[in-house]
Structure 1
Amino acid sequence: MPEESTQPIAPAEATPAAAATINEETNKRKNRGQTSKERREHARKRIMIRNQERQKEEEQPRERSESSEPRRPKRKVALLIGFCGSGYQGMQVNPNAKTIEGELFKALCQAGAVSAENSTDQGKIQLQRAARTDKGVHAAGQVVSLKMIVEEPDIISKLNKHLPAQIRAWDFVRVVRSFNAKTACDSRVYEYMLPTYVFMPPSEKCMEVAKNVKFDERQVPETTEEEIRAKREYRVSAEMLEYVRKAFEKYQGTHDYRNFTVTKGCTANNSKRHIHWFTVSDPMIIQGCEWLSLKVKGQSFMLHQIRKMVGLIILMARTNVPLRLIDVIFDCARINVPKAPGLGLLLERPVFDGYNRRVSSQKLATSNQVTFEPYQKEIDAFKQKYIYDNITETEMKEAVFDIWVKNTEVFPEQYLYINQDCVIPESTLVVPGEESIRPPPQSIGKDKDALSSEDEEDTKDD
């Protein structure tokens, strides 16, 4: 078999000097005893050749197709939006998923705020959200930073024409070129709408099923019309309301929230979070049912953190467990805290106090403060029609919270840490990365992920 030729083949477009250099360097590679000086010289020449080739390419005139649109300048902006998350699989764009970002990017392209050249990849316009929201979660105020074409004065009106009614753009604000909605955001304010009947004592019917039926054979019993009526007519007592308020206040400050998120990617080094405040409103009657508005402000939140914070307090309040259990859970090994339904959760607004102070102090001519205040009247009307009404009507039709509560009663094994002694049984501990005890899929009913401790979602902060 003949030997392969060792003579290098110079590129067709290479100059004679470049070809000679390549030949010389190829011969040098045959000798493995190169000195450091020779290797440095070799690297220098390779860089020089690449630079020459790159310069030659850049000097070639670019051909513009007849159908190509004229280039229009883009500006870095903070786009202020709101949305009802029902029917969407979260905020962040995902392949083959219906998401808020996907809908928004499509509308931006259709409205002319994004050029056709950049319409295939939202990374080209540096699109970044201030906070991620899960499947079905809403936002009265959300901020998206991007590079946008803003020449037309009615660009927001055009954008809204291409958006579904449940997604609205309030306005855009010019910002500095380095602005990133996620990193510039100081904190986030979330609201959770909660029907008070979830604090009713455990159902004897469900407890009988849990006690007498094998785990794999259990079925969540149907709620009768009489039981539904009793839940709708339930009114929280002053003592229960005081307990709930004190319980949510326990979250304030800096704590380790490793038990309030998924196990994947969560360690002792990245699970501490700071909560500024957590408030509970006075009860309000909506369509005959009593509700509470919970509001929390924190620097950032981990995946499912708020829903798990709410879920724990519901279980504790129903059995009047001592509040010190919360402190125990902050410090104990991994357990499964159930996440309350996503139906009640909404992002009220991201906060940009630090950035706004900088803009105000430096008096930047091309940048404005990022705030929702000028649009609050529109936002409140949208929130009532598309978010609050959606939450309450869905609950009235589907009894989402009733299903969630019954599942915790029929499958209590993983929640045995809800006890008067505040002791964490070994049987409730979860091995990170492994599934915890969970009910059979057919028993969950409408809220199929009611008791699931793990989800196939990313674990980045909101």
Structure 2
Amino acid sequence: MDMEEEHDGCTSLVASHCAVMAENPSTAPPEGEPGSKRQKLSTVAASDDEKIQDAAPTLPRKPRYKRRKVAIFFAYCGVGYQGMQKNPGAKTIEGDLEEALYLSGAVPEQDRGQPRRYDWSRSARTDKGVSAVGQVVSGRFYVDPPGFVERLNTYLSPQIRIFGYKRVTQAFNVKKFCDRRRYVYLIPVFALDPSRHRGEIDNCLECAERGGNVLGATGKSVVESETVVEAVELGSGILSNTESASVEEKIEKVHSSDDDGTVNVDSEKNSINGTEEIKADSLNSNTLLNCSTGSAEKANDNGDDRSHTGDETSKMMECKSNGEESSETKSEFCYDNAVRERLNRILKYYEGTHNFHNFTTRTKAEDPSANRYILSFNANTVINVEGIDFIKCEVVGQSFMLHQIRKMIGLAIAIMRDLTPEPTIETAFQKKVNLNVPMAPEVGLYLDECFFTSYNKKWGDSHEELSMKDYTEVAEAFKMKYIYSHVASSEKKDGVAALWLHCLNRHYPEADNVHLHETTDTLPSSDEKPSDAITTDE
């Protein structure tokens, strides 16, 4: 009985609960779902949310680009710049290029001014005023979207032009993978004529006038053996460095000696007149040193400027501004086969591995870096630019030191002008000999191309070939418009080579006197010391 009463009680409770749920259907849970689960939002509210979401504007995602390891090929006219390598406080090609890379978006803000963060490297360094047609730099840059070259050129001066770029391996370093470098130096044909621009500069009317003009235009002065250089504007709109480093180096060596105690040539005996030593404090208002000519304009004992007599005036008319003589005294010198063979024979002395410590500055003979390997050196081509004939001297080597090529050219010209014998080159290679080698002006020198033979051989199947083949036409156009025209205009207007030849004469006063007086004396033989006043460390 008790069990039946308990069962009837449970049945009545269930029945009452069902009755309550029937009276309040909204509280009843949906079929098939537990009563504790939350109800869905109303369909009306969901519809409104969808309309709001559809009405909101959809912003496009900004594309994200990756950095690419590339090699950039470009050219520049070095006039007005203090060289290729970045130097704080100086206007350099590298400085302008780094800024253009940032402005074009190739380098982010956090890497601006920190080239190591994007693996920056250069294939070659050029001196002040030296140009380049085949310069190459490498790094990790944002080259996308298309139009990277155009964007970069927008922020560069017209005398710096980007030709293009090529993808390289991640481990690529343009300096380490560059096997060879080819430089070209343009020598005016008249510079090889021993009879041209010979003797005192005062006996050459046009060169004497140039000397005064160059001195005034550049504002050079000698203060504690340092020269102050200013740039002058040429007609082409390119800034020009009119300073010639040959005499600048001479001034530097007057007050210096080698660390090992060996006195250099100019500090011991060479001077502006071949007999006296130059002192910086002895250069006053009446003795102005012209660094481009290597001459000094002195006043006479009465304090008046020296005037030219009739005989001197006739001698001064022998030279003209573009290196050509007057019709009465025109030389028949030309770059014929005999002259070409002689110059190539002289240049061949440089080929091979030699110690070039005398062809640079601040490098000891014992320093392993003084040993350099020259693959080839020749002068077989003559070009005419604005009416002046120039000889293209092409030198190919693994690497070069500061001023090395200009000094090699300077000594070769001195030999061609019979100022010193050919064996002087071999003498300059000797470790125990310190020789003051003349240095040619920087105007005629430019970097022609960098070669990556080993890299192309190893990675040619998977990467683009690194060469100037794709940029030949645009490179030639740039060369003619900026580099060749500047070299020719510098010679026509300022007579850079002609003035330097007079400086070269003062570098070898004994040989110059022999030539001028037309005596029967001969130049020093190969067994005698040349007029360079060689000193040894012994």
* TM-score (normalised: structure 2): 0.61
Question: Which residue number corresponds to residue 443 of structure 2?
Answer: 343
Distance 1:94 1:415, change over 3 A: farther
Percent identity over the alignment?
Answer: 33
Listed as ranges, the matches of 1:258-269 within 5 Å are 258-264=357-363, 267-269=366-368
Distance 1:149 1:321, change over 3 A: same
Distance 1:82 1:120, change over 3 A: same
Distance 1:214 1:206, change over 3 A: farther
Deviation at 1:430, TM superposition (A): 6.1
Question: Which residue number corresponds to residue 404 of structure 1?
Answer: 500
The answer as to whether partners of 1:415 and 1:428 remain within 8 angstroms in 2 is no
Alpha-carbon displacement from aligned partner over 1:364-388 (angstroms, at most 9, x marks no partner): 2xx3221110110111001110111
Distance 2:73 2:317 in 1: 43
1:311 counterpart (404, 407, 410): 410
Deviation at 1:220, TM superposition (A): 4.7
Partner amino acid for 1:171? G
Distance 1:426 1:319, change over 3 A: closer
Alpha-carbon displacement from aligned partner over 1:433-459 (angstroms, at most 9, x marks no partner): xxxxxxxxxxxxxxxxxxxxxxxxxxx
Listed as ranges, the matches of 1:238-253 within 5 Å are 238=336, 239-253=338-352
Deviation at 1:201, TM superposition (A): 2.2
Higher percent of residues as helix: 1
Larger mean CA deviation between 215-224 and 87-96 belongs to 215-224
Q: Secondary structure in 1 aligned to 2:401?
A: coil
Partner amino acid for 1:189? R
Deviation at 1:426, TM superposition (A): 10
1:227 counterpart (316, 319, 334): 319
Deviation at 1:120, TM superposition (A): 2.9
Distance 1:269 1:115, change over 3 A: same
Question: Which residue number corresponds to residue 476 of structure 2?
Answer: 380
Question: Which residue number corresponds to residue 172 of structure 2?
Answer: 179
Distance 1:81 1:401 in 2: 28
Partner amino acid for 1:404? W
Deviation at 1:335, TM superposition (A): 1.1
Q: Secondary structure in 1 aligned to 2:434?
A: coil
Instruction: Give ranges in structure 2 of 5+ residues lacking alignment.
Output: 1-61, 204-270, 279-286, 290-294, 298-307, 309-314, 326-330, 513-522
Distance 1:224 1:77, change over 3 A: farther
Distance 2:172 2:123 in 1: 11
Distance 1:415 1:116, change over 3 A: farther
Q: Are 1:333 and 2:333 counterparts?
A: no
Distance 1:420 1:321, change over 3 A: farther
Q: Are 1:278 and 2:377 counterparts?
A: yes
Question: Which residue number corresponds to residue 135 of structure 1?
Answer: 128
Deviation at 1:339, TM superposition (A): 1.3
Distance 2:170 2:322 in 1: 56
Question: Which residue number corresponds to residue 20 of structure 2?
Answer: none
Deviation at 1:214, TM superposition (A): 4.4
Larger mean CA deviation between 74-83 and 255-264 belongs to 255-264
Partner amino acid for 1:236? C
Question: Which residue number corresponds to residue 35 of structure 2?
Answer: none
Distance 1:303 1:127 in 2: 21
Deviation at 1:250, TM superposition (A): 1.8
Alpha-carbon displacement from aligned partner over 1:18-50 (angstroms, at most 9, x marks no partner): xxxxxxxxxxxxxxxxxxxxxxxxxxxxxxxxx
Distance 1:201 1:207, change over 3 A: farther
Question: Which residue number corresponds to residue 199 of structure 2?
Answer: 204
Partner amino acid for 1:205? E
Distance 1:227 1:415, change over 3 A: closer
Distance 1:183 1:423, change over 3 A: farther
Deviation at 1:87, TM superposition (A): 0.5
Question: Which residue number corresponds to residue 353 of structure 1?
Answer: 453
Question: Which residue number corresponds to residue 465 of structure 2?
Answer: 369
Q: Secondary structure in 1 aligned to 2:482?
A: helix
Distance 1:98 1:211, change over 3 A: closer
Distance 1:245 1:422, change over 3 A: farther
2:72 counterpart (76, 79, 85): 79
Q: Are 1:159 and 2:147 counterparts?
A: no
Aligned residues: 359
Distance 2:351 2:92 in 1: 32
